């Protein structure tokens, strides 16, 4: 329970829902709301809240000695929380809750590859532990429809078929994704609305409405035999959201009043002071920019999943008499689902197909596209580099990038902006105007949730180490003891009981790389080789050997790829060829016929020669065949 270390309030008695809460007696009554009359039927004192000074009923009598009158507190089981992703990284969010032999999974996301993951399309969690405990898993509950929370589902469901529970828009997006992987007909999708409670094994999960950059986002209050866990998902506090209601404070407060064993809260903006700005601010900026771009074609790049932002763009387009077209496969898919489910209000005759752009004057067009992060294959990037089949940009275009660069993407976004400027486009990005606000809670919003929930233990989630540490510091500043805060890593497992929280043996976890249709067949060794090839190139040495005595029949031939320009390095390559020939003949003369030994000698000797001549270290690949 939190200490009131920061705020001093002189009024010590609060009245709420007909109940009186006396903070001076919070220790005596366990900090719960109590009725005005002790004998009121609504007045409940649970054994778990009985303190040393708790009042006893006058009618309660016992013949036992005084020392034995106090009843023993019933022992509650423990709950285990394991993290297969989402800690010390951005994305790939997935958390396991396990209690009394039952397990539920919160989210199943993916992450985009880092710059050193050459050729990798995306990164998903290692599902080994889930496969090993498939019989325990009662279901997957989803917080919202962003890729970092649902992107790994097709790969998990291809291994094990687990029921999925989510809000309508979230499951609509999941369904589209499963259709692409031919898994939709087998999937068990269960629609749950915010405010509903479902039972999964021994646990009850209440879906709590929150605000985020995508509609239908929820947090969870998970009631287990060990106690209640609250998981916020991604959220912010927006009192004037574009779509739907404000965050459901009452459900968080109710969980806090009933008692919360542990809080798991997102940490993405834990280092940012103040409050996250409302999405309404973007509407004002867009109105101003649409007015300034009266003689331009407007192109806006944003996240495909930001349905609220697209709704604002459509509203502005309707106000200024413009048609709207979508570009980018993910943008088209997201908007199609949002429109069908009623989360996107589109006036009649405002949407046009991308092929119809030439049928209208440029100043009557708004093109909404993907590519706000500078992704090489995105629609905006292809426009910038004149590689788009249907859209050519130039001096008559007013381009708005309505998103913040994800950490690590700043350079690629900057490159796209530069290319657009070279083509004469007018480019507006976040640092210039209020064309984007975050969907994640800043420090003051996190404080509000902590105060409402008042957990006994706290685990910061969803962020890199700096984010998790900053969130832990915030909880400590609010009065929580550091020993009650756990900062984990991918694979970490923590056991939580009403009396303690401790880290236990980790579970199998890590990164699985998806490259094309291959899942998991690209590992650290393959990436190392790719990096080696990309940095220093490759030399292939091909020779045919006599099957009887091992002497060279033809070759060796030397092929260089990505190492040196052959026509300017003929002397070096001839030295390599002669050295390879000498090694092969020496091995034959000394009756060395094991190809492993021969190839290693070729690699070692040629590597030394090239290092002496060029100070480079290309990959050496000998290819030998017997004739």
Distance CA 453, CA 252 (A): 6
Distance CA 25, CA 27 (A): 5
Q: For residue 412, report the phi and psi dihedrals to the nearest 5 degrees.
A: -65, -40
Cis omega (within 30 of 0) on the bond before 288?
no
If one counts every other C-beta atom within 10 angstroms of the C-beta of residue 481, the result is 12
Q: How many residues does the chain have?
A: 627
121 among annotated binding-site residues: yes
Distance CA 148, CA 524 (A): 22
222, 229 in Cβ contact below 8 A? Answer: yes
CA neighbours closer than 13 Å in the CB half-sphere of residue 274 = 4
In sequence order, what E strands does 102-202 have?
102-106, 122-125, 137-141, 164-166, 189-191, 197-200
In sequence order, what E strands does 225-322 have?
227-231, 262-266, 297-301
Q: For residue 102, report the phi and psi dihedrals to the nearest 5 degrees.
A: -110, 150
430, with CB counted inside 10 A (0-12, 13-18, 19+), is middle
386 among annotated binding-site residues: no
82 among annotated binding-site residues: no
Distance CA 343, CA 334 (A): 11
Q: How far is CA 326 from the centre of its chain?
A: 25
471 among annotated binding-site residues: no
Set 266, 279, 419, 445: catalytic member = 266
148 among annotated binding-site residues: yes
304 among annotated binding-site residues: yes
5 among annotated binding-site residues: no
593 among annotated binding-site residues: no
User: Is 266 one of the annotated active-site residues of the chain?
Assistant: yes
306 among annotated binding-site residues: yes
In sequence order, what E strands does 217-282 have?
218-224, 227-231, 262-266
436 among annotated binding-site residues: yes
If one counts every other C-beta atom within 10 angstroms of the C-beta of residue 548, the result is 7
Distance CA 86, CA 234 (A): 12
- What residues have CB less than 8 Å from 197, skipping those under 6 apart? 204, 205, 206, 207
Among 107, 176, 89, 103, smallest CA distance to 143 is for 107
462 among annotated binding-site residues: yes
439 among annotated binding-site residues: yes
135 among annotated binding-site residues: no
User: Is 388 one of the annotated active-site residues of the chain?
Assistant: no
464, with CB counted inside 10 A (0-12, 13-18, 19+), is middle
Distance CA 259, CA 253 (A): 10
Set 209, 231, 440, 471: catalytic member = 440
- What residues have CB less than 8 Å from 186, skipping those under 6 apart? 157, 161
Distance CA 431, CA 125 (A): 34
DSSP 297: E
**Strand, coil or helix: 155:** helix
Distance CA 42, CA 30 (A): 16
Distance CA 132, CA 499 (A): 29
437 among annotated binding-site residues: yes
Per the listing, tokens 């309030």 go with 9
Residues annotated as catalytic are: 266, 440
Binding-site residues for Zn(2+), in ranges, read 144, 146, 148-149, 212, 234, 462
Q: Which segments are annotated as binding site for substrate?
A: 304-306, 436-440
Please state the residue numbers annotated as binding site: 119, 121, 144, 146, 148-149, 212, 234, 304-306, 436-440, 462, 515
As annotated, the binding site for Ca(2+) includes 119, 121, 515
């Amino acid at each position: 329970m939190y200490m009131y270390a920061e705020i001093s309030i002189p009024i010590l008695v609060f009245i709420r829902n007909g109940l009186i809460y006396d903070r001076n007696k919070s220790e005596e009554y366990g900090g719960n709301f109590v009725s005005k009359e002790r004998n009121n039927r609504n007045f409940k004192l649970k054994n778990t809240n009985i303190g040393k000074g708790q009042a006893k009923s006058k009618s309660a009598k016992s013949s036992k000695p005084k020392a034995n009158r106090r009843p023993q507190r019933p022992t509650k089981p423990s709950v285990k929380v394991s993290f297969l992703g989402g800690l010390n990284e951005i994305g790939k969010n997935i958390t396991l809750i396990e209690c009394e032999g039952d397990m539920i999974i919160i989210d199943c996301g993916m992450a985009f590859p880092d710059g050193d993951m050459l050729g990798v399309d995306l990164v998903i969690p290692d599902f080994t532990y889930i496969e090993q405990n498939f019989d325990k898993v009662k279901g997957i509950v989803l917080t919202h429809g962003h890729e970092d929370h649902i992107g790994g589902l097709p790969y998990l469901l291809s291994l094990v078929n687990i029921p999925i529970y989510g809000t309508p828009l979230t499951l609509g997006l999941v369904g589209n994704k499963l259709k692409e992987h031919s898994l939709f007909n087998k999937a068990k999708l269960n629609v749950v609305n915010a405010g509903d409670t479902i039972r999964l094994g021994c646990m009850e999960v209440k879906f709590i409405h929150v605000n985020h950059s995508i509609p239908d986002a929820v947090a969870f209050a998970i009631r287990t035999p060990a106690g209640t866990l609250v998981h916020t998902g991604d959220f912010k506090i927006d009192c004037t959201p574009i779509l739907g209601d404000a965050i459901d404070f009452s459900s968080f407060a109710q969980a806090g009043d009933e008692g919360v064993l542990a809080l798991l809260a997102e940490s993405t903006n834990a280092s940012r002071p103040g409050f996250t700005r409302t999405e309404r601010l973007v509407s004002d900026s867009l109105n101003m920019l649409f007015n300034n771009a009266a003689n331009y074609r407007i192109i806006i790049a944003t996240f495909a999943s930001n349905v609220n932002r697209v709704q604002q763009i459509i509203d502005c387009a309707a106000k200024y008499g413009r048609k709207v077209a979508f570009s980018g496969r993910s943008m088209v898919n997201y908007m199609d689902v949002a429109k069908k489910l009623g989360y996107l209000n589109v006036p009649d005759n405002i949407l046009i197909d991308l092929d119809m752009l030439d049928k209208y004057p440029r100043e009557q067009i708004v093109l909404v596209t993907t590519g706000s992060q500078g992704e090489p294959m995105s629609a905006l990037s292809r426009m910038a580099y004149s590689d788009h089949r249907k859209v050519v940009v130039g001096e008559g275009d007013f381009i708005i990038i309505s998103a913040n660069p994800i950490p690590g993407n700043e350079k690629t976004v900057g490159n796209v902006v530069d290319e657009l400027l070279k083509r004469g486009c007018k480019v507006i990005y976040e640092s210039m105007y209020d064309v984007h606000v975050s969907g994640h809670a800043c420090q003051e919003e996190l404080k509000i949730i902590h105060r409402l929930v008042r957990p006994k233990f706290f685990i910061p989630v969803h962020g890199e180490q700096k984010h998790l540490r900053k969130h832990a510091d915030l909880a400590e500043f609010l009065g929580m003891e550091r020993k009650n805060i756990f900062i984990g890593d991918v694979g970490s497992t923590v056991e939580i009981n009403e009396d303690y929280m401790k880290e236990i043996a980790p579970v199998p976890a890590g990164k699985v790389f998806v490259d094309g249709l291959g899942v998991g067949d690209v590992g650290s060794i393959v990436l190392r080789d790719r990096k080696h090839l990309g940095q220093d190139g490759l030399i292939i040495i091909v020779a045919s050997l006599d099957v009887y005595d091992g002497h060279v029949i033809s070759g060796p031939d030397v092929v260089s790829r990505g190492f040196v320009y052959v026509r300017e390095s003929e002397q070096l390559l001839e030295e390599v060829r002669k050295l390879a020939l000498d090694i092969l003949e020496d091995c034959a003369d000394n009756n060395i016929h094991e190809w492993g030994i021969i190839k290693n000698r070729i690699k070692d000797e040629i590597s030394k020669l090239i290092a002496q001549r060029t100070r480079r270290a290309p990959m050496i690949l000998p290819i030998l065949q017997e004739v």
